[in-house]
Amino acid sequence: MFGLEKKDRSLLILVALLTIFAPFILNPFPEGSAMAQFNAGYPDLMQRFVIFGIFAIGFNILFGLTGYLSFGHAAFLGVGSYAAVWMFKLLSMNVVPAIVLAVVMSGLFALLIGYISLRRSGIYFSILTLAFAQMMFALAYSVLTPITGGETGLQLALDDPRILDGAGASAGNIPVPSLFGLEMRDSADLVLGSWVFTFNIGYYFCAVIMLLAFYLSIRIFRSPFGMMLRAIKSNQQRLNYTGLNPKPYTLAAFVISGMYAGLAGALMASMDPLAGAERMFWTASGEVVLMTILGGAGTLIGPVLGAGMIKYMENIISKINSDILHGWFAFLPDGLEDFVVTIIYPFIGKGWHLTLGLIFMAVVIFLPGGLVEGGQRLAALFRRKKTSTDDGSPAKTEPAE
Amino acid sequence: MGILEVKDVNKRFGGLQALGDVNLSVTENTCHAIIGPNGAGKSTLLNCLVGKLIPDTGSVMFDGQSVLGRTPHEINQLGISRVFQTPEIFGDLTVMENMMIPCFARRDGAFRLHAIESVGSETELREQAEQMLEDVNMLDKRHMHSASMSRGDKRRLEMAMCLVQNPKLLLLDEPTAGMARADTNNTIDLLKEIKDKRDITIAIIEHDMHVVFSLADRITVLAQGTPLVEDVPEKIKGHPKVQEAYLGESA
Amino acid sequence: MDAILLQVLNGLDKGSAYALIALGLTLIFGTLGVVNFAHGALFMIGAFCAVTLSRLLTLSHEVIDETRTDFLGNPLKVDVPYLYDIFGETAGAAIIDWAVPLSILFAIPVMILIGVVMERGLIKHFYKRPHADQILVTFGLAIVLQEIIKYYYGANPIPTPAPAAFTGSFDFGALIGFEPNTIIYPYWRLVYFAFAALIIGAVFAFLQFTTFGMVVRAGMADRETVGLLGINIDKRFTIMFGLAAAVAGLAGVMYTPINSPNYHMGMDFLVLSFVVVVVGGMGSLPGAVLAGFLLGILESFASMREVIDLIPGINQVIIYLVAIIILLTRPRGLMGRKGVMED
């Protein structure tokens, strides 16, 4: 089925099930309970999970396979967002043309930037991509204001032409992005006892696209192209002396991952039709690097996991305030309670970035292979315990999954 | 007219004349050894043949085409494969994947975007690769992570990767350097077998005279960047100039 | 002519900052082989050393001033710095006024300590890891450091003025024979430039004329050989890291009167400083300094109204453009050495 090996097929089905039932899985706590703040099953956050999942999946095709560390990938996300919003303004509120243009535009930008940046490798490549992204950010923020909206960002207006939608479509309100009439913001609630589950069209649209993107990335990983990319990471010299030219392969990987970023940007704009330059800032590029590494660079599922983890933690941790903390530690004696809260306080709420930085360091220091490797190590530990008596066969090393 | 013709090649590094008027002709389907003391310019010459260095003057013709100005991958596509002094393989990949890459290179050329097809479905190439692995007695290791193998196995794998491309010319850069006696003998046997079974030209740089005299049909002695003598092995052994080049510096 | 000179002068202060940060980056990169994304954070911490000291100096207690009243008619409460009690009002006020230059003394030990702790505690373990890992871990560290500063000092810029004697501007043009009022230049910028020149000179002299510096330079050229000679290069590299941190920190201290420090100033400068290092040539100290000033001045020229009218937005991107062109035409940078960070 789908032209995949059994193991990959199970992985794809697992991810598909998780995304389809995400509104249930992410809302395990009843409404109004103390734990409800840990629920993540609301549309806005779920959309971010899958959109950043796409972004990270694409980044992983470049970084995970070839080892080229781009520090400017958010630029393509920004290009995608701007392109999509322009499509909404000029042509139609239908998301399809917006996504198509965004992917094409980000692909073109990636082709240009990749062509230049890939003439160097190692840290030079990282710095070049960083320089390009910062340049685009600076331009978007200043001179290109007519195109990008500058500091305020690019927004929809009532008097946008929207050629295809016709005049009657916007009767006094700015219309919302839709897929052939299905409005992205529409949701249906399912109330089961004290649980409320929300099913949002935008989320499911993004989820379907993420599944397609994920499927495509599996195919790329298992393809001759994917193998060449891993060979590039492993030994460029040998590749050269084997009659293969690493440049076009790397460039193709760069463009593909740039297009993934553009797709993610277009989906962001489709969920909330505005685009700002801060999306291209280099901290945003750093974030996708973190997602990929946290999950496990070079693994299939890693980037999706990493993106989910980071966005979940961002959301939950930045919502916790000192009152909540005091509530948690109320069981402690007063002095100790205050002390514990004071210790933890800098890391929560607005301190989310501090926690993020610490996670970043911890992952690079202790778990360079990310969560996937961590999981494998744990699994191996358990397996060894179980089979310690009859373990005769030496561990066979499989290629990176 | 040999398959590889090196004419009047000069290469300077700053003040050092690394190669001076090197002329070399390698006849098709022979094994030609290039020997010489350290610093004689053997590696420089080799690098000029594969596109890593460009000679200052002179010409290098392979199979009727000039290799000068071509990149290493283009030269490989002309039919020259190179084995390195320390085995260069794809350490992160399995043995089988290592083998598949030259198979793809041979079939598809320097670049082709197969992003959707599966490596697993390339039955024909897999068979080629497995056949080659069998020839070098490594089929049982095909699922191994190549970085975790012994040096001797890496060398075998590298050679198999070169051979599966069916090159016209195989360049060997001290293929037994740092090997134990047993491994060296295995390598000699392997190379002999290759030589006998296939239509292939071999050019070998080597320090180990045992290897050279077991394999070579012709030998060129290089000293201080210039060919000293070129002859069949029997004549080289007792040649006074060779004695001088090798012993002169140590005596 | 005077317009050109004015732009050169205007470029000097930013150029000085670039040069100082790039110098430290290059020292670390050249000696330790580590790409330090947290170097900008050191610059920022230096600036906050100045903020901290001036806060410490102005620690006050409340005193009721009977001679004045507030708008309700009560006696006015005024804050009197403890320094006034210790040194008297005039001397105390002078010390507070000179808080920024005094911070140099405060910042040197603090920065060296931070640098050494950073190297021993973290960077040391990354010498043998891939450059990508070094970039990532120091990037994480940079985020942590800037968030800590943000937590304690808030997100807003904190004005930290120069001593009264150096505030304001003077007619530099008239001094060197131009028409009066054509080249007006702030005193502090000149101070900053002189200070930067002094530090750069000191670092070079240190590397050139001391045995310590000789070993470090040899280590930059060929680390393994120096290690083979039995010289304990690691310890020296730790000290080098401390020194580089101090240079970045001092650059930050003295920069506070030019731009009020905020928690993200380090990152802003870091990206540009990396570009400077690359333009100058990875591993080349003179290259870093030269490129720092060059790009600072170039940026200032690109900000001229005439230039912006001609090419809008050029001032925003000039440095990146130059870097891209240099990297593509002279991959080793202006003064890069062969063999350093080649692919």
| Contact residues, chain A to chain C, C-beta under 8 Å | 67, 69, 71, 116, 119-124, 126-128, 130-132, 134-135, 138-139, 141-144, 282-283, 286, 289-290, 293, 346, 351, 353-354, 356-361, 364-365, 368
Judged by a CB distance cut-off of 8 A, whether residue C187 touches chain A is no
Task: For chain C, report the end-to-end CA distance as a whole number of angstroms.
Answer: 44
Flag the least confident range among A271-280, B70-79, C79-88, C332-341: C332-341
Separation in Å, CA of A283 to nearest CA in chain C = 9
How far apart (Å, rounded) are the C-alpha atoms in residues C267 and B209? Answer: 60
Average pLDDT over residues A108-125: 89
How far apart (Å, rounded) are the C-alpha atoms in residues C200 and C189? Answer: 16
Cβ–Cβ below 8 Å for A252 and B115: yes
Q: What share of chain A has pLDDT > 90, as a percent?
A: 32
Question: Please, which residues bridge with residue A28 across strands?
Answer: none
Using one digit for the tens of pLDDT, what is the confidence trace for C148-162?
998 888 888 888 888
Average pLDDT over residues A147-151: 83
Domains of chain B: 1-79+167-251 (3.40.50.300), 90-164 (no CATH)
The domain ranges of chain A are 6-281
pLDDT of residue A395: 41
Topology classification of domain A6-281 = ABC transporter involved in vitamin B12 uptake, BtuC (1.10.3470)
Using one digit for the tens of pLDDT, what is the confidence trace for A156-169?
887 777 777 765 55
- Interface size A-B, in CB pairs within 8 Å, comes to 125
Judged by a CB distance cut-off of 8 A, whether residue B213 touches chain A is no
Chain A neighbors of B87, CB-CB under 8 A: none
Chain C neighbors of A127, CB-CB under 8 A: 274-275, 278, 323
Q: Name which of A237, A396, A399 is nearest B93 (Cβ-Cβ).
A: A399
How far apart (Å, rounded) are the C-alpha atoms in residues B209 and B237? Answer: 10
Secondary structure class of A374 (helix, strand, coil): helix
Judged by a CB distance cut-off of 8 A, whether residue C308 touches chain A is no
Res A346 pLDDT > 60: yes
With cut-offs at 50, 70 and 90, classify the pLDDT of residue C177: confident
Q: Nearest residue of A to residue B91 by CA position?
A: A234
C34: left (phi over 0), alpha (psi -120 to 50) or beta: beta
Cβ–Cβ below 8 Å for A354 and C143: yes
With cut-offs at 50, 70 and 90, classify the pLDDT of residue A244: very high
ipTM for this model: 0.89
Judged by a CB distance cut-off of 8 A, whether residue C255 touches chain A is no
Judged by a CB distance cut-off of 8 A, whether residue C137 touches chain A is yes
Q: Give which of A61, A222, A229, A240 to mutate to test B binding, by max B Cβ within 10 Å.
A: A240
Q: What share of chain B has pLDDT > 70, as a percent?
A: 97
Average pLDDT over residues B90-116: 89
Strands B201-205 and B57-62: unpaired
Q: Give which of B82, B103, B111, B157 to mutate to test A binding, by max A Cβ within 10 Å.
A: B111
Q: Name which of B76, B92, B143 is nearest A241 (Cβ-Cβ).
A: B76
Q: Measuring CA to CA, how many Å separate C108 from each of B85, B133, C173?
A: 51, 63, 35
Average pLDDT over residues A201-206: 88
Judged by a CB distance cut-off of 8 A, whether residue A2 touches chain B is no
Cβ–Cβ below 8 Å for B116 and A239: no
How far apart (Å, rounded) are the C-alpha atoms in residues C194 and C175? Answer: 17
Res A121 pLDDT > 60: yes
Chain A neighbors of C35, CB-CB under 8 A: 123
Cβ–Cβ below 8 Å for A139 and C313: yes
Partner chains of A (3+ C-beta pairs under 8 Å): B, C
pLDDT of residue A225: 94
| Residue (of A299, C130, A234) closest to B146 by Cα position | A234
Using one digit for the tens of pLDDT, what is the confidence trace for C257-297?
888 888 888 887 888 888 888 888 877 888 899 999 999 99
Cβ–Cβ below 8 Å for A223 and B92: no
Average pLDDT over residues B36-53: 86
Res A32 pLDDT > 70: yes
Partner chains of B (3+ C-beta pairs under 8 Å): A
Q: Nearest residue of A to residue B89 by CA position?
A: A238
More confident residue, C196 or C164: C196
Report H helices in C122-130: none
Secondary structure class of A149 (helix, strand, coil): coil
With cut-offs at 50, 70 and 90, classify the pLDDT of residue A388: low
> Residue C218: CA atoms inside 13 Å, Cβ hemisphere, count?
16
Chain A neighbors of B71, CB-CB under 8 A: 240, 245
Q: How far is CA A277 from the centre of its chain?
A: 18
How far apart (Å, rounded) are the C-alpha atoms in residues B248 and B245? Answer: 5
Q: Nearest residue of B to residue A3 by CA position?
A: B118
pLDDT of residue A400: 41
Cβ–Cβ below 8 Å for A244 and B101: yes
pTM of the predicted protein model: 0.88
With cut-offs at 50, 70 and 90, classify the pLDDT of residue B210: confident
Task: State which amino acid sits at residue C279.
Answer: V
Res B69 pLDDT > 80: yes
Cβ–Cβ below 8 Å for C271 and A131: yes
> Does A have 3 or more CB contacts under 8 Å with B?
yes
Separation in Å, CA of A236 to nearest CA in chain B = 9
Res A74 pLDDT > 90: yes
Domains of chain C: 2-329 (1.10.3470)
Flag the least confident range among A204-213, A281-290, C84-93, C134-143: C84-93
Separation in Å, CA of A77 to nearest CA in chain B = 23
How far apart (Å, rounded) are the C-alpha atoms in residues B83 and B194? Answer: 14
pLDDT of residue A393: 41
Contact indicator for A228, A244 with CB cutoff of 8 Å: yes
Res A82 pLDDT > 90: yes
Using one digit for the tens of pLDDT, what is the confidence trace for B152-164?
888 889 999 999 9
Cβ–Cβ below 8 Å for A121 and C343: yes
